[in-house]
Structure 1
Amino acid sequence: MDLGTTSPLTTTPALDRRTMFKAAGITGLAVAATPAAEAFAAPSAPNPNLDPFDLSFEVVRRQRPVDLVAKGFVQLRDRFERDHEPYERLSPTGSRGTIEFGPRRLRVSGTSPFFALFRSQTRQRAPYAAVVVDVAARGTGQGTVMSGLVKDADDYVVAWYDGAAGTVGIDVSVGGTVQTLGTVQADLQRPFRLGFGLTSTTVVALVDDGSGFRPLVKGNLNGILDLRRPALLAQYRNGFGARAASGAVVLDGVVAGYFGQLGLRDPHLVTRADGTPYIKDNLAYLTFTQAGLGFFETAHWGVWTMDVRTFELKQVANLFFQRDGNNTVLGDHAGHIVLDEANDRWIIANSTWGDFTGESVQVNYLTLPKRRSPLRGVHVLRTRKLPLPTTQLPSAAVGQWDPHLVRIRRRWYVGFVNARAFFNFYPALARSRPGDDFTDLRLVGADDAKVETEGPVLQKFGERWYVMASNGDASPAAIKGQYPVYDLTMKQVGRLDAPHPTNIPWPMVIPVPLRNRRTRWLMVTFNGTQLNEDLLGYGTHGDLIVMRAERDTRGHQFPPMRG
C-alpha cells in the first residue's frame, strides 16, 4: 500500500551570473558521488582565509516527499489475511451485520441495515494521525466506508464515503451526537482508497482513485473535540467502519500511523555544541518542519537523515511538545537540536507555532540527558521559554522564532528572529558571558532595518563565524531575494551567492568533510510551493532544494565525527 511519493521533481534553476558564464561547460548538476566518509585520513585544518563569499552555490536536487502515513511510523497494517488483529467490534445502531475476515478481505454484510466500527489496539501519542482503508471492487456500491479514530460506539471522528449518495464527508460523534463537518460530491469508482488525516485540530478527508491522494473535505474540531489533550487522545484508537441498508461492503486492507507531511521546510542541521555537523556514515541529521493539512499550527517537527552523496531522505524521529503549565500536545517546530557533550546533554530549542493564533510566538527549549537521544522514535517533550534579551532591542517585539545555538570560545551564541509585528521581522544575535549557559544571554546586535528577514544560521568558514539569513518577498526591491551575511557583531558584510527560491528560504549551509582532506559545501533550503491551497489554505509548502558549492575547499572545516 503506497501512501506517498519521494521522487525528485524536475526543476530549472534560475541562471545566475556564474551559471551564465559557465553554461557552455556545465554538465554536473546531477548528483555527484561524494567520497565515502569511512576511511578518513587525519583531519586537516581548513584554509584560514576562507569566507562565505569564496563559494557559489548551484541547485543539484529538488524533491518533495509527500506521505499521508509517515514511512517508518506505521502503527497498524492489516491485509485481512485472517482474523488476527484484535479489533473491538462496535455498532452505533446496535446492528453490526455479518463480519467475515480473509482471505485478503474484510466483508461486512446484511439483509437489513447495519453499521460496524472496528477499533484497533493501536494509537498515536499526538494528534497527528492518518488512517487509510482500501475499498475493494467487490461488494455493493451503495454502502458507506469510514476511516478515522474510534473511542467507542458513541465517540469517533471519521472520514467517510457514501456510495449511494456519491458524497465524501467528515463526521464527529461525541456522546452519540453526530456532527457533520462538511461534505462534497465525489463519484468514485471502486477500488479506491479513503484517507483520514488529523493534524492538531484540523481534519481532512482524502481519496485516491488511482492518481494519488487528493483532499476533498476539510473540517476543524475546535469547540467539539480537543484531541490535543493527552488523556482524551489516549482513549481513541485507529479504526474504520462500514454501513449499508443491505448487501455487502468489502475492504482489502487498512494502514494507520502518524501523519507524514505534504512538504518540508525550515531545514536545520543537527550539530554538536561547537558547530560540528552531525554527520554519521554519510548521513546528515536535520530537523524539518513537516507541513500539515493547513496553516502553521497543523505542521509538526521531525528528524530526518539526508545522504550527503545521493540526497536520499528518511524520517527517523517525530517530535511533539507540551509547554510548562499546559498539557496540550502541540506540533511546535522551526528550531535547532544541539548535542552538548561537555555537559552530557541534548539542547532542543524551537518556535511555538503549534497553536499560532496571530498573537505571539516565542522560542522555547528543553535539555535531555545525552542517553535520551531525540534523533530516533517518537517523543513528546516538555519545554519552557528561553529568556532572550528582547527588551534591549530597538523596537517592540510581538514574537521571536528560528533559534540557532553554537558555543564559540566558551560563549553561547543564539541567533533568532525578532518580530515587531506579524509579519514584520528581522534577525538578531545574543550571547552569554564566558562560561555561562545559553539561558543567560545579552544582546549582541540586530539588523532592524530589515522587514522580512528570517532563518538565521550561524556557520564557520575558515577561522571566522558568520550569521546568514534570508530576505523575503516583502523586502525592498534592492535586497529582495538575497541572503545577507553578518559578522558576529551583526554588521552585514556581504551576501551569499546562491539561488533564492520563493518564500523565505533558510540558508542551511552544511560543510561535509571528505576523506581526501577537503570539504564539500552543501546548502539545504526550501521554497513556497503549496499543495491543494484552494482547499487547505496557506501552509502546505514546500519543495526541498539541495545546492552544492561549485568547488570543494582545502582541509576539513570541521573534523569528521567519531563515535
Structure 2
Amino acid sequence: MTDFDRRDVLRALTALGVTGAAAGLLGGTAEAAGTDPFSLKFSVTEQFRPFALIAPKFVQVDTAARPGALVRTGVRPKAPYGTVTVEVLDAGAPVVAGLAGDGVSVLGTYDPAAGQARIEITTASGTAVVKTAAASLPKAFGFAVVVNENAVTVLADTGAGWRPLLTERDQVRARIDLRDPAVLGKLGYAYGRRGPARLGRVRAGYYGQAGVRDPHVVQYADGRPVIRDGKLYLTMTNAGLGFFQQAHWAVWTLDLADPTKLEQVASLFFARDGVVLGDHAGQIVVDDDRFILLMSSWGDFAFTGVHVRHTVTRENVLSGVHVLPTRQLPLPTTVSSWDPALTRIDGRWHIAFVESPAQQPSFVFHPALAAAPRGADYDHGLTLLGADTSVGQTEGTILQRVGGRWYLFASDGDAREYPVYDLRLRKLGTLDAPYGTNIPHPMLVRIGNRWWLPTFDGTQYAEDVLGYGGHGDFILMRA
C-alpha cells in the first residue's frame, strides 16, 4: 500500500470516528508516526479565513423586516457579543440597528441624506451621538451593527463583503456597561427605519468572528484528542472587531475527512467581578464526567496584568451558549500568566503556561511548567518545575507526547521558531515547521498515524478602521 493510499484509508476511518487502532491496522502503531518531535517535518496543507458576523449555528432572529422607527424583537443575547444585519432594499431614509430596551438603546445608524454613519447611545440621561463617519452607500446594501463587549461597530456590504464604517468603545462605555447582566438583560436585538426606506431580511444572533487564533485541541485528561463522528474538537479565540477585549472563546469542530470544513459548535463566556466577559486563549479537558476549562483573562485586559482562570462544570460545553463563573487558578508565579495547557502525566497533573513580568512599555513573556502533587487535583499544591527566562517573546505552550515521551512545545516570536522542551524546561531543539506571522501556536495532535498542527497567523481584518486584534487566518500543517 502506498503512502497516498494509506492516507486515503485513514481519512475514511477517521470520518467514521475510528482512530488509534487504525494506525496499527495500517502498518504500525500511532507512536510509530514519529519517534521524537525532531523526526517530524511539517508543511502547510490548508489556509483559509473563517469570517462570520453571526455564527451560523447561533442565529436567534431570521425574519422579514416589519415597519417601524425602532422594532424591538424581544430576543436577547446572554453575553454582550451580538450582531444585527439588515437587508436595505432602498435607502430612502435613515436605517438603524443594534440593541434596545425601555428607554435604553445602543444603535448604529446610516443617514443617506447626511452621508453619514453614526453610533448613538440612549440612557436615562438622554441620547448622545458618540461617533460619526462619512459614508456614501448605494440605494441597496447590507447594513450591520456588531456589539463586542462595549465596542460597537457599524458595517456595510455593498457587494464585496462586510467592511466597517466606524467603531467606538470608550465613549460607549462612558455611558453604559453592556457587560453588566442587569443592563444587558433589558436589551434585545432591534432595527428600524426613520422614514421611507425599504428593508428586507433581518437576522440577529451571537457574533461569530473576523478570524481565529490560539487553537487548542479539546482533550481527555491523558492527552488523547476528543474526536466524535470523524470530527476533531478544538477551542479557538474568535477575533472580535477590535482589540483583545472584543474577542471571545468558542468550540469548533474540524472535519478530518475534509479539513476545510471548520464549524463553530459552542460559544463560551465567563462571569466574574460582576460582569460577563469573553475571556479566551485556553483549553478544555474532559475528565470522566466533568469538563475542566482554563482560560486567560484577556476579556478585560487594560495593560495592568493577565492571569489564568478556571472552572469545572458538568454542562456540555462542547455545544450551545454558556456563561460560566470562574476563579483565578493558583499558579506558582508572582507575575502575569496566560496560555494554559493541562494534562495528567503519569498520574500527576501538569500545567504549562506563560509567565509575563511586563506588558508595558512592551510585552515580555516566556514559557513555564508547574505540577500538582501525585493524587491531587489539577488546582491543588502546584509547584514550578521550570521556566525558560532566556526568551522574551515566547508563548503558545502545548503539552504533547511524541514517541512515548512528553514534551512542552512553544512559539518564540523573536527567533521565529518553535522551541521544544523537556518537562524540566530544558530546551532540546526546535520543531521543523513553517513559522508565519504573529506568534503561531504549535498545536500538535496525532490523527491516526500522522501528526497534524492547526495554528494561525497575524493577517488582520480592516486594521485601518478597527486597529490591531482582528486576526488571523486558520492554518493547518501536516507532517
Q: Answer yes or no: same fold by TM over 0.5.
A: yes
Mapped partners of 1:143, 1:497: distance in 2: 58
SS of 1:70's equivalent in the other structure is: strand
Mapped partners of 2:205, 2:81: distance in 1: 9
SS of 1:390's equivalent in the other structure is: coil
| Cα displacement (A) at 1:136 | 1.1
Q: Which residue of 1 aligns with 2:348?
A: 411
Give the number of the structure whose residues are more often helix, by fraction. 2
Given that 2:20 and 2:30 are in contact with CA atoms closer than 8 Å, whether structure 1 keeps it comes out as: no
Q: Which residue of 2 aligns with 1:501?
A: 436
Q: Which residue of 2 aligns with 1:279?
A: 227
| Cα displacement (A) at 1:309 | 2.4
Per-residue CA deviation, residues 147-192 of structure 1 (Å, 9 max, x unaligned), is 111103x321111111211211111111261111211221211211
Sort the Cα spacing of 1:484 and 1:41 in 2 relative to 1 into closer, same or farther, 3 A: closer
| Cα displacement (A) at 1:42 | 4.4
Q: Which residue of 1 aligns with 2:258?
A: 310
5+ residue gaps, structure 2? none
After TM superposition, the structure 1 stretch with the greater mean CA deviation from structure 2, 179-188 or 298-307, is 179-188
Q: Which residue of 1 aligns with 2:308?
A: 363
The amino acid of 2:11's aligned partner reads T
5+ residue gaps, structure 1? 1-26, 81-105, 109-115, 392-396, 514-518, 550-563
The question of 1:34 aligning with 2:11 is answered yes
Sort the Cα spacing of 1:118 and 1:40 in 2 relative to 1 into closer, same or farther, 3 A: closer
The within-5 A match list for 1:200-215 is 200-215=149-164
The within-5 A match list for 1:7-406 is 34-37=11-14, 38=16, 42=21, 44=24, 45-47=29-31, 50-80=35-65, 106-107=66-67, 116-137=69-90, 141-152=91-102, 154-175=103-124, 177-220=126-169, 221-244=172-195, 248-311=196-259, 312-323=261-272, 326-341=273-288, 344-369=289-314, 372-391=315-334, 397=335, 399-406=336-343
Sort the Cα spacing of 1:42 and 1:130 in 2 relative to 1 into closer, same or farther, 3 A: closer
The question of 1:522 aligning with 2:452 is answered yes
Mapped partners of 1:142, 1:379: distance in 2: 40
SS of 2:437's equivalent in the other structure is: coil
SS of 2:379's equivalent in the other structure is: coil
Mapped partners of 2:50, 2:421: distance in 1: 33
Per-residue CA deviation, residues 40-63 of structure 1 (Å, 9 max, x unaligned), is 684644447711111100000001
The amino acid of 1:225's aligned partner reads I
**Would you say how many aligned residue pairs link Structure 1 and Structure 2?**
461
Mapped partners of 2:185, 2:326: distance in 1: 21
TM-score, scaled relative to structure 1: 0.79
Sort the Cα spacing of 1:206 and 1:277 in 2 relative to 1 into closer, same or farther, 3 A: same
Mapped partners of 2:35, 2:290: distance in 1: 32
The amino acid of 1:507's aligned partner reads P
The amino acid of 2:405's aligned partner reads R
SS of 2:464's equivalent in the other structure is: helix
The percentage of aligned residue pairs carrying the same residue is 45
Sort the Cα spacing of 1:32 and 1:234 in 2 relative to 1 into closer, same or farther, 3 A: farther
Given that 1:413 and 1:430 are in contact with CA atoms closer than 8 Å, whether structure 2 keeps it comes out as: yes
Mapped partners of 1:163, 1:186: distance in 2: 8
Per-residue CA deviation, residues 193-227 of structure 1 (Å, 9 max, x unaligned), is 11001100100110111111110111122121101
Given that 1:32 and 1:309 are in contact with CA atoms closer than 8 Å, whether structure 2 keeps it comes out as: no
Mapped partners of 1:280, 1:51: distance in 2: 27
Per-residue CA deviation, residues 285-332 of structure 1 (Å, 9 max, x unaligned), is 000000101111110000000012211100000000012xx1200000
TM-score, scaled relative to structure 2: 0.93
| Cα displacement (A) at 1:35 | 3.2
Mapped partners of 2:156, 2:430: distance in 1: 45
Cα RMSD over matched residues?
Answer: 2.0
Q: Which residue of 1 aligns with 2:368?
A: 428
Per-residue CA deviation, residues 3-50 of structure 1 (Å, 9 max, x unaligned), is xxxxxxxxxxxxxxxxxxxxxxxx99x999723223568464444771
| Cα displacement (A) at 1:504 | 0.6
Mapped partners of 1:462, 1:269: distance in 2: 19
